[in-house]
Chains A and B, each alone.
Chain A
Protein backbone atom coordinates (compact mmCIF):
# COMPACT_ATOMS: atom_id res chain seq x y z
CA UNK A 1 0.00 0.00 0.00
CA UNK A 2 1.33 3.44 -0.85
CA UNK A 3 2.11 5.74 2.04
CA UNK A 4 -0.18 8.42 0.69
CA UNK A 5 -2.84 7.68 -1.91
CA UNK A 6 -4.98 10.00 -3.92
CA UNK A 7 -7.39 9.39 -6.78
CA UNK A 8 -5.51 10.94 -9.72
CA UNK A 9 -8.74 11.95 -11.45
CA UNK A 10 -9.21 13.93 -13.56
CA UNK A 11 -12.31 15.34 -11.99
CA UNK A 12 -14.27 17.29 -14.56
CA UNK A 13 -16.93 19.48 -13.00
CA UNK A 14 -19.03 22.42 -14.17
CA UNK A 15 -18.61 25.86 -12.71
CA UNK A 16 -20.49 26.21 -9.46
CA UNK A 17 -20.30 22.53 -8.58
CA UNK A 18 -19.11 21.15 -5.28
CA UNK A 19 -16.26 18.67 -5.49
CA UNK A 20 -14.51 16.63 -2.85
CA UNK A 21 -11.15 14.85 -2.81
CA UNK A 22 -9.95 12.26 -0.38
CA UNK A 23 -6.44 11.26 0.53
CA UNK A 24 -5.57 8.20 2.60
CA UNK A 25 -2.35 7.66 4.51
CA UNK A 26 -0.89 4.45 5.85
CA UNK A 27 1.15 5.53 8.87
CA UNK A 28 -0.96 6.16 11.95
CA UNK A 29 1.93 8.14 13.49
CA UNK A 30 1.54 10.86 10.85
CA UNK A 31 1.44 14.21 12.56
CA UNK A 32 0.71 17.07 10.21
CA UNK A 33 -1.41 17.27 7.11
CA UNK A 34 -1.61 19.78 4.31
CA UNK A 35 -3.24 20.38 0.98
CA UNK A 36 -1.20 22.05 -1.73
CA UNK A 37 -2.32 23.30 -5.09
CA UNK A 38 -0.10 23.03 -8.14
CA UNK A 39 -0.81 24.72 -11.43
CA UNK A 40 0.62 23.34 -14.63
CA UNK A 41 4.39 23.93 -14.79
CA UNK A 42 4.39 25.87 -11.54
CA UNK A 43 5.61 25.12 -8.05
CA UNK A 44 3.22 23.76 -5.39
CA UNK A 45 1.62 26.38 -3.21
CA UNK A 46 0.16 25.76 0.20
CA UNK A 47 -3.63 25.77 0.08
CA UNK A 48 -4.39 24.94 3.68
CA UNK A 49 -3.29 22.99 6.70
CA UNK A 50 -5.63 20.30 7.95
CA UNK A 51 -6.54 20.17 11.62
CA UNK A 52 -8.30 17.48 13.62
CA UNK A 53 -11.24 19.76 14.23
CA UNK A 54 -11.56 20.50 10.53
CA UNK A 55 -11.03 23.93 9.08
CA UNK A 56 -12.58 26.17 6.50
CA UNK A 57 -11.16 28.92 4.34
CA UNK A 58 -13.76 30.54 2.14
CA UNK A 59 -14.99 27.96 -0.33
CA UNK A 60 -12.50 25.35 0.87
CA UNK A 61 -13.05 22.96 3.76
CA UNK A 62 -10.50 20.43 4.97
CA UNK A 63 -11.21 17.54 7.29
CA UNK A 64 -9.02 15.00 9.04
CA UNK A 65 -10.24 11.57 10.10
CA UNK A 66 -7.49 9.94 12.15
CA UNK A 67 -9.49 6.81 12.88
CA UNK A 68 -9.87 6.02 9.20
CA UNK A 69 -6.58 7.69 8.26
CA UNK A 70 -7.77 10.03 5.58
CA UNK A 71 -8.03 13.71 4.91
CA UNK A 72 -10.47 15.41 2.62
CA UNK A 73 -10.76 18.65 0.72
CA UNK A 74 -14.13 20.08 -0.26
CA UNK A 75 -14.42 22.88 -2.77
CA UNK A 76 -17.76 24.64 -2.99
CA UNK A 77 -18.99 26.82 -5.84
CA UNK A 78 -16.12 25.80 -8.12
CA UNK A 79 -14.49 28.49 -10.23
CA UNK A 80 -12.63 28.08 -13.49
CA UNK A 81 -9.53 29.22 -11.64
CA UNK A 82 -9.76 26.23 -9.31
CA UNK A 83 -8.54 24.01 -12.16
CA UNK A 84 -5.25 22.59 -10.92
CA UNK A 85 -3.69 19.55 -9.32
CA UNK A 86 -4.31 19.18 -5.59
CA UNK A 87 -1.57 17.48 -3.62
CA UNK A 88 -2.04 15.85 -0.26
CA UNK A 89 0.98 15.95 2.06
CA UNK A 90 1.53 14.05 5.29
CA UNK A 91 4.42 14.59 7.68
CA UNK A 92 6.18 12.35 10.13
CA UNK A 93 8.47 13.92 12.71
CA UNK A 94 11.20 11.94 14.41
CA UNK A 95 13.31 14.18 16.62
CA UNK A 96 14.89 16.78 14.40
CA UNK A 97 14.11 14.77 11.30
CA UNK A 98 10.99 15.50 9.37
CA UNK A 99 9.73 13.36 6.56
CA UNK A 100 7.20 14.68 4.10
CA UNK A 101 5.23 12.24 2.05
CA UNK A 102 3.53 13.60 -1.02
CA UNK A 103 0.57 12.16 -2.81
CA UNK A 104 0.66 12.05 -6.59
CA UNK A 105 -2.10 14.63 -6.79
CA UNK A 106 -5.69 14.83 -7.94
CA UNK A 107 -6.37 16.72 -11.13
CA UNK A 108 -9.37 19.01 -11.24
CA UNK A 109 -10.79 20.65 -14.35
CA UNK A 110 -13.62 23.12 -13.84
CA UNK A 111 -15.52 23.69 -17.06
CA UNK A 112 -17.65 26.67 -18.10
Chain B
Protein backbone atom coordinates (compact mmCIF):
# COMPACT_ATOMS: atom_id res chain seq x y z
CA UNK B 1 0.00 0.00 0.00
CA UNK B 2 1.02 3.61 -0.46
CA UNK B 3 2.46 5.78 2.31
CA UNK B 4 0.39 8.94 2.70
CA UNK B 5 1.63 12.04 4.48
CA UNK B 6 -0.94 14.62 5.38
CA UNK B 7 -0.30 17.98 6.99
CA UNK B 8 -1.00 19.81 9.11
CA UNK B 9 -2.11 17.13 11.54
CA UNK B 10 -4.22 19.63 13.42
CA UNK B 11 -4.99 23.32 13.51
CA UNK B 12 -7.13 25.81 15.33
CA UNK B 13 -8.31 28.61 13.09
CA UNK B 14 -10.27 31.81 13.32
CA UNK B 15 -13.68 32.16 11.73
CA UNK B 16 -13.48 33.57 8.20
CA UNK B 17 -9.94 32.39 7.49
CA UNK B 18 -8.85 29.64 5.10
CA UNK B 19 -6.59 26.65 5.58
CA UNK B 20 -4.87 24.49 2.99
CA UNK B 21 -4.27 20.84 3.77
CA UNK B 22 -1.59 18.96 1.89
CA UNK B 23 -1.49 15.29 0.95
CA UNK B 24 1.68 13.68 -0.35
CA UNK B 25 1.86 10.06 -1.51
CA UNK B 26 5.07 8.10 -1.93
CA UNK B 27 3.97 6.59 -5.25
CA UNK B 28 1.89 7.60 -8.22
CA UNK B 29 -1.77 6.86 -7.62
CA UNK B 30 -4.66 7.10 -10.00
CA UNK B 31 -7.32 8.04 -7.52
CA UNK B 32 -7.13 10.52 -4.68
CA UNK B 33 -10.05 11.56 -2.58
CA UNK B 34 -10.83 14.03 0.17
CA UNK B 35 -13.20 13.07 2.98
CA UNK B 36 -14.62 14.81 5.98
CA UNK B 37 -15.58 13.14 9.21
CA UNK B 38 -17.53 15.17 11.70
CA UNK B 39 -17.66 14.17 15.36
CA UNK B 40 -19.54 10.92 15.85
CA UNK B 41 -20.21 10.55 12.14
CA UNK B 42 -18.97 8.29 9.41
CA UNK B 43 -16.94 9.46 6.46
CA UNK B 44 -18.40 11.84 3.91
CA UNK B 45 -16.74 12.15 0.52
CA UNK B 46 -16.07 15.77 -0.39
CA UNK B 47 -14.55 15.28 -3.82
CA UNK B 48 -12.36 13.20 -6.07
CA UNK B 49 -9.12 14.99 -6.91
CA UNK B 50 -8.42 14.62 -10.63
CA UNK B 51 -4.89 15.06 -11.92
CA UNK B 52 -4.67 17.94 -14.34
CA UNK B 53 -8.33 18.86 -14.24
CA UNK B 54 -10.99 20.17 -11.90
CA UNK B 55 -12.02 18.01 -8.98
CA UNK B 56 -15.32 16.15 -9.01
CA UNK B 57 -17.44 17.33 -6.09
CA UNK B 58 -20.13 15.42 -4.27
CA UNK B 59 -23.55 16.81 -3.60
CA UNK B 60 -23.41 19.49 -0.96
CA UNK B 61 -19.79 20.47 -1.61
CA UNK B 62 -18.68 23.25 -3.97
CA UNK B 63 -15.39 24.38 -5.41
CA UNK B 64 -15.61 27.87 -3.94
CA UNK B 65 -15.75 26.46 -0.43
CA UNK B 66 -13.36 23.53 -0.91
CA UNK B 67 -10.95 24.28 -3.75
CA UNK B 68 -8.75 21.31 -4.58
CA UNK B 69 -5.54 21.10 -6.52
CA UNK B 70 -3.86 18.02 -7.92
CA UNK B 71 -0.83 19.06 -9.95
CA UNK B 72 0.54 15.51 -10.30
CA UNK B 73 -0.12 11.89 -9.38
CA UNK B 74 1.50 12.10 -5.95
CA UNK B 75 0.21 15.34 -4.46
CA UNK B 76 -3.04 17.14 -3.73
CA UNK B 77 -4.28 19.99 -1.59
CA UNK B 78 -7.65 20.77 -0.11
CA UNK B 79 -8.46 24.30 1.02
CA UNK B 80 -11.25 24.96 3.49
CA UNK B 81 -12.29 28.53 2.72
CA UNK B 82 -14.00 31.18 4.81
CA UNK B 83 -14.22 28.80 7.73
CA UNK B 84 -17.06 28.69 10.22
CA UNK B 85 -17.49 26.55 13.34
CA UNK B 86 -19.53 24.07 11.27
CA UNK B 87 -16.34 23.23 9.37
CA UNK B 88 -14.74 21.83 12.51
CA UNK B 89 -14.02 18.27 11.53
CA UNK B 90 -11.38 15.75 10.60
CA UNK B 91 -10.34 16.03 6.96
CA UNK B 92 -8.85 12.90 5.42
CA UNK B 93 -6.90 12.34 2.24
CA UNK B 94 -7.36 8.91 0.73
CA UNK B 95 -5.81 7.08 -2.22
CA UNK B 96 -6.59 4.03 -4.23
CA UNK B 97 -4.14 2.22 -6.49
CA UNK B 98 -6.85 0.87 -8.76
CA UNK B 99 -10.59 0.59 -8.77
CA UNK B 100 -10.72 -2.88 -7.22
CA UNK B 101 -8.29 -2.16 -4.43
CA UNK B 102 -9.19 -0.83 -0.99
CA UNK B 103 -8.54 2.77 -0.11
CA UNK B 104 -5.88 3.89 2.29
CA UNK B 105 -5.99 7.02 4.38
CA UNK B 106 -3.65 9.68 5.61
CA UNK B 107 -3.55 10.41 9.32
CA UNK B 108 -6.10 13.18 8.92
CA UNK B 109 -6.18 16.86 9.78
CA UNK B 110 -8.12 17.78 12.91
CA UNK B 111 -9.52 21.22 12.33
CA UNK B 112 -11.20 23.38 14.94
CA UNK B 113 -12.67 26.77 14.12
CA UNK B 114 -13.23 29.28 16.90
Interface residues of A, Cβ cutoff 8 Å to B: 31-32, 34, 36, 41-46, 49, 87, 89, 91, 93, 96, 98, 100, 102-105
Contacts and interface: CB of A to CB of B under 8 A. Distances in A.
B110 interface: yes
Given A87-B42, A100-B45, A43 B102 contact: no
Nearest to B106: A43
Contacts of A32: 100, 102
A41 B43 CA distance: 12
Interface of B: 1, 31, 33, 41-43, 45, 90, 92, 96, 99-100, 102-108, 110
SS of A interface (majority):
strand
10 contacts: A41-B90, A43-B106, A87-B42, A89-B102, A93-B100, A98-B99, A100-B45, A102-B42, A104-B41, A105-B42
